[in-house]
Amino acid sequence: MTISNIKAIINSDIHNVWETVLAVENYSSWRSDLSKTEIINDKKFIEYTKDHYSTTFTVTVMEPYKRWEFDMENGNMKGHWTGVFTSNGNETVIEFSENVVAKKWFMKPFVKSYLKKQQARFINDLKKKLGG
């Protein structure tokens, strides 16, 4: 089991940040790592990388403007993601945590660095989308 956490301040109010992060159907317009997303229902969606590799997400918790959680799985890993959103005036503090198990033994040494890279990319793309 590998755990990776990231915390960042986004220069946008919590409503903008929340609405952007939860608008999964718009991810491909601002996330640099995705080609498309597919909404299955109000609890399940699939992300496709630029190489068309899919990951399925199943929402487990949603507390508007506070917390969003989901289980995730693809051919290489399965795990759980938690996002905590905190208003700080015109800024929003976001804290994302991923708890992942590699499905293939030879991938285990690379999981932590991969998660860190993915989290940093998401934050950078989000900051670009929201202007800071």
Q: What pLDDT, in 10s, does the model give residues 50-73?
A: 999 999 999 999 999 999 999 999
62 bridge partner residues: 68
Residue 131 pLDDT exceeds 90: no
Task: Report the predicted TM-score, pTM, of the whole model to 2 decimal places.
Answer: 0.93
Element (H, E) at 105: none
Task: List Cβ neighbours of 87 (8 Å cut-off, separation of 6 or more).
Answer: 13, 14, 65
Query: If you compute the radius of gyration of the chain from its CA atoms, what whole number of angstroms results?
Result: 14
All domains in the chain, ordered by first residue: 2-23+58-130 (3.30.530.20)
Q: How confident is the model at residue 132 (pLDDT cuts 50, 70, 90)?
A: low
| C-alpha to C-alpha distances, 106 to 41, 98, 102, nearest whole angstrom | 34, 20, 9
pLDDT tens track for 116-127: 999 999 999 999
98 in Cβ contact with 4 (< 8 Å) = yes
